[in-house]
Structure 1
Amino acid sequence: MSNILERKDVISIIIKKRQAPESILMLERGVKRISKRKREMEFELRNIEQGYLAECKLDFYLERMGMNSNDIIVLQDLRLPATDGHSFFQMDNLLLTTHFAVNIDVKSQPGKFTFQNNARNFQYYMHGKKYGMMHPLSQVDEQCDQLRFWLGAGWENYPIINLVALADPSAEIATDSSSDWVYDCVMPFALLKKSFKRAAEQYTQAFVQLSELTRIGYQLAQAHCKPELRYWKRFELVDGDVKGGVLCPFCNRLAMDRLRVIWDCPHCGGRDRRAHVMSILDHFVFVKPTMTNQECRKFLHVEKEHTARALMTNAGILDWNRGTKGRVYYLKK
Structure 2
Amino acid sequence: MDVLPKVVSVSILAMEALKGRVSPSLKFYNQLVEDLKMEWAGHNGEKALIYPLSQLENNKYLIFHGLRLQGDGYTVQLDVYLISLYFSLILEAKNWAGEVCFKKNPKQVVRIVNDVTQGMPNPVEQVKMQQHNIKKWLVDNQLPSIPIEGYAVFGSSTIVTIEKGYYEAEKFICKTDCLYSTIRKMETLYKTPVLTHEKLHEIKTQLLEKNTPLIKNLYEHYRFERSVIITGVRCPQCLVLGMKYKRKQWCCACGCNSKNAHIQALRDYLLLFGPAISNREMRWFLHLPSKSITSKLIAEVKLEKVGSTRKARYKLPWDLVYSTSFKSEKKV
Tell me, what secondary structure is at the counterpart of 2:49? Answer: helix
Letter in 1 for 2:154: L
Superposed CA deviations along residues 274-333 of structure 1, whole A, max 9, x for unmatched, are 32233133234335775443333222212312333444465456653349x723456557
The CA deviation at 1:102 is 1.1
Please show how residues 106-255 of structure 1 align to structure 2 within 5 Å. Answer: 106-117=93-104, 120-131=107-118, 133-152=120-139, 153=142, 155-156=144-145, 158-167=146-155, 169-255=156-242
The CA deviation at 1:174 is 3.0
RMSD between aligned residues: 3.0
Compared CA separation, residues 119 and 218, structure 1 to 2 (3 A):
farther
Quick one: which of 275, 278, 293 aligns to 2:264? Answer: 278
Question: Does the CA-based 8 Å contact 2:10-2:214 persist in structure 1?
Answer: no
Compared CA separation, residues 330 and 154, structure 1 to 2 (3 A):
closer
The CA deviation at 1:190 is 1.7
- 2:293 corresponds to: 307
- 2:284 corresponds to: 298
Tell me, what secondary structure is at the counterpart of 1:178? Answer: coil
Question: Does the CA-based 8 Å contact 1:242-1:286 persist in structure 2?
Answer: no
Compared CA separation, residues 298 and 100, structure 1 to 2 (3 A):
same
Compared CA separation, residues 312 and 108, structure 1 to 2 (3 A):
farther
Question: Does the CA-based 8 Å contact 1:248-1:256 persist in structure 2?
Answer: yes
Letter in 2 for 1:326: K
Q: Which stretch shows the higher mean deviation, 244-253 or 50-59?
A: 50-59
Tell me, what secondary structure is at the counterpart of 2:312? Answer: strand
Q: Which stretch shows the higher mean deviation, 124-133 or 275-284?
A: 124-133
Compared CA separation, residues 310 and 230, structure 1 to 2 (3 A):
farther
Compared CA separation, residues 139 and 119, structure 1 to 2 (3 A):
farther
Letter in 2 for 1:79: R
The CA deviation at 1:106 is 0.5
Compared CA separation, residues 24 and 133, structure 1 to 2 (3 A):
same
- 1:326 corresponds to: 311
Superposed CA deviations along residues 150-181 of structure 1, whole A, max 9, x for unmatched, are 3225644x2111101012x3322233333144
Compared CA separation, residues 54 and 138, structure 1 to 2 (3 A):
same
Compared CA separation, residues 288 and 100, structure 1 to 2 (3 A):
closer
Compared CA separation, residues 49 and 154, structure 1 to 2 (3 A):
closer
Matched, 1:52 2:43: yes
TM-score, length of structure 2 as denominator length = 0.81
Compared CA separation, residues 122 and 78, structure 1 to 2 (3 A):
same
Q: For structure 2, list consecutive stretches of 5 or more residues without a partner in the other structure.
A: 319-332
Tell me, what secondary structure is at the counterpart of 1:182? Answer: helix
Superposed CA deviations along residues 106-135 of structure 1, whole A, max 9, x for unmatched, are 111212333333674333343333446433
Superposed CA deviations along residues 210-253 of structure 1, whole A, max 9, x for unmatched, are 34213322331232223325333332220321111111233321
Superposed CA deviations along residues 57-91 of structure 1, whole A, max 9, x for unmatched, are 2222113345xx9922222221222332xx74321
Letter in 2 for 1:247: R
Matched, 1:63 2:54: yes
Tell me, what secondary structure is at the counterpart of 2:178? Answer: helix
Matched, 1:75 2:64: yes
Letter in 2 for 1:150: W
Compared CA separation, residues 234 and 40, structure 1 to 2 (3 A):
same
State the distance in 1 between where 2:32 and 2:75 align. Answer: 23
Q: For structure 1, list consecutive stretches of 5 or more residues without a partner in the other structure.
A: 1-12
Letter in 1 for 2:72: T
Q: Which stretch shows the higher mean deviation, 91-100 or 109-118?
A: 109-118
Q: Which stretch shows the higher mean deviation, 196-205 or 314-323?
A: 314-323
- 1:15 corresponds to: 3
Question: Does the CA-based 8 Å contact 1:107-1:166 persist in structure 2?
Answer: yes
State the distance in 1 between where 2:128 and 2:278 align. Answer: 45
State the distance in 1 between where 2:40 and 2:143 align. Answer: 39
